[in-house]
């Protein structure tokens, strides 16, 4: 983790803080953040991906990608119902988490004078999925582990 | 769907223009606009977020075979798998379409900004917009198959 610039450290800290808040106050589940990977291009795999675009002084895409077991466990805990399929309830729960993480990033960036607007989240459910950003973007991926498995929160961005 | 009445012909024109002028590929509308699309198989989707006073998503859904033909034509390189070149080409098409949507919606929303484009590909997937969003999906035919251009806008 050497050579991180201030923006990278801030974005990393912001994602971790919001995820911890969401899991402590809305999902009521223990969550542990793993070591962040930084770089250029990356590919996330999973059974469910929720994505939301960020536009403005920083342009980007925030993606939460998880295995089915993680998505159903988190959504069940958050909505207080037993969910076993990747259905519309799971879509809503994971889309909302993605939206909240983007909102946290927006606030953290605004505090530094970087103004960002958020698009609407979209959730993609499927088999053998890979998500990818474009060349030229910076990337940071924070893996999180819960009882049901590990999932990734990834931000790809270009700072103006 | 009524909120898309004025948008559909302009979105069709934009798509045709981008494919004819930039991708150098014949394209025509292949049916009526739809409000939902079933699972996609062996496909790649390029998407770009719309943020600001108007919020939404512009997406283009392309079967792998068509995506490889587009990449060959657009970037002038032969590809035989869904690699980074294909992701770049599909992301760039979503980006160009998003730029046009910004102009198309300019009289309705005074400020729309685009996010970075991204792509998602897979053997089988469904694309689910959130509840508070209206969407329109326009089918197009190209020589190697069918593509779909989707616009989602938050209900105001």
Candidates B139, B141, B129, B145; CA nearest to B47 is B129
pLDDT number for residue B1? 44
* Residue to substitute from A132, A136, A155, interface B, most B β-carbons within 10 A: A132
State the average pLDDT over residues A107-119. 96
When CB atoms are compared, the residue of A51, A55, A127 closest to B118 is A51
User: Measured at the alpha carbon of residue B109, what is the angle toward residues B100 and B118, in degrees to the nearest 5?
Assistant: 45
Candidates A60, A64, A37; CA nearest to A131 is A64
Q: How far, in Å, CA of A55 to CA of A149, rounded?
A: 31
**Helix axes of B84-104 and B64-75: crossing angle, nearest 10 degrees:** 80
User: What separation in angstroms does the CA of B66 have from each of A43, A136, B42, B43, B92?
Assistant: 22, 25, 11, 9, 15
Instruction: Render pLDDT for B74-106 as a digit per residue (tens, 0 to 9).
Output: 888 889 999 999 999 999 999 999 999 999 999
DSSP assignments along chain A, one per residue: -TT--HHHHHHHHHHHHHHHHHIIIII----EE---EEES--EEEEEEEEEEEEEESEEEEEEEEE-HHHHHHHHHHHHTS---S--HHHHHHHHHHHHHHHHHHHHHHHTTT--EEE---EEEEEEEEEEE--TT-EEEEEEEEETTEEEEEEEEEEE-
> What ipTM was estimated for this complex?
0.90
Share of chain A above pLDDT 70, in %: 98
When CB atoms are compared, the residue of A126, A128, A134 closest to B117 is A134
pLDDT number for residue A127? 83
- SS3 category, B149: strand
Query: Facing residues of B136 across strands?
Result: B151
Numbers of helices and strands, H then E, in chain B: 3, 6
> What are the phi and psi torsion angles at A144 (to 5°)?
-125, 145
pLDDT number for residue A3? 61
Across the interface, whether the CB atoms of A119 and B50 are under 8 A apart is answered yes
* CATH number assigned to the domain covering A6-159: 3.40.1550.10
pTM listed for this prediction: 0.93
pLDDT number for residue A40? 78
Across the interface, whether the CB atoms of B49 and A53 are under 8 A apart is answered yes
Least confident of A24-28, B13-17, B122-126, B129-133: B129-133
Across the interface, whether the CB atoms of B57 and A88 are under 8 A apart is answered no
CATH 3.40.1550.10: does it fit domain B2-154? yes
Domain ranges of chain B: 2-154
**Tokens 């959730």 -> residue:** A123
Share of chain B above pLDDT 90, in %: 84
Q: Which residue of A has its CA nearest to B51?
A: A119
When CB atoms are compared, the residue of A127, A131, A157 closest to B116 is A157
Element (H, E) at B146: strand B145-154
Across the interface, whether the CB atoms of B129 and A120 are under 8 A apart is answered yes
pLDDT band at A101 (very low <50, low <70, confident <90, very high): very high
A-chain CB neighbours of B51 within 8 Å are: 53-56, 117-119
**Tokens 């519309």 -> residue:** A88
Domain ranges of chain A: 6-159
CA distance B16 to chain A (A): 24
Q: How far, in Å, CA of B123 to CA of B127, rounded?
A: 13
pLDDT band at A91 (very low <50, low <70, confident <90, very high): very high
**A108 vs A128, which has greater pLDDT?**
A108
């Amino acid at each position: 983790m050497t050579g991180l610039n201030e923006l990278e450290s801030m974005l990393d800290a912001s994602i971790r803080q919001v995820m911890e808040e969401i899991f402590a106050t809305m999902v009521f589940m223990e969550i542990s953040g793993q070591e962040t990977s930084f770089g250029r291009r990356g590919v996330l795999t999973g059974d469910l991906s929720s994505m939301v675009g960020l536009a403005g002084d920083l342009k980007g895409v925030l993606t939460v990608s998880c295995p089915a077991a993680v998505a159903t466990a988190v959504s069940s805990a958050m909505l207080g119902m037993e969910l076993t399929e990747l259905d519309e309830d799971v879509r809503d729960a994971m889309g909302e988490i993605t939206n909240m993480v983007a909102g946290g990033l927006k606030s953290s960036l605004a505090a530094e004078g970087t103004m960002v607007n958020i698009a609407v989240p979209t959730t993609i459910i499927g088999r053998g999925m890979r998500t990818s950003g474009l060349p030229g973007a910076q990337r940071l991926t924070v893996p999180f582990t819960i009882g049901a498995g590990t999932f990734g929160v990834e931000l790809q961005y270009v700072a103006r | 769907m009524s909120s898309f009445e004025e948008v559909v012909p302009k979105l069709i024109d934009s798509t045709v223009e981008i494919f004819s002028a930039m991708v150098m590929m014949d394209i025509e509308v292949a049916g009526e606009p739809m409000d939902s699309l079933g699972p996609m198989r062996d496909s790649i989707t390029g998407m770009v977020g719309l943020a600001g006073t108007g919020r939404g998503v512009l997406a283009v859904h392309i079967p792998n075979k068509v995506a490889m033909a587009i990449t060959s034509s657009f970037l002038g390189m032969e590809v035989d798998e869904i690699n980074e070149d294909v992701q770049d080409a599909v992301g760039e098409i979503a980006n160009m379409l998003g730029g046009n949507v910004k102009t198309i919606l300019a009289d309705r929303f005074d400020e729309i900004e685009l996010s970075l484009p991204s792509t998602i590909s897979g053997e089988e997937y469904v694309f689910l917009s959130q509840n508070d969003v209206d969407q329109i999906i326009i089918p197009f035919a190209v020589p190697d198959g069918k593509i779909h251009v989707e616009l989602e806008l938050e209900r105001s």
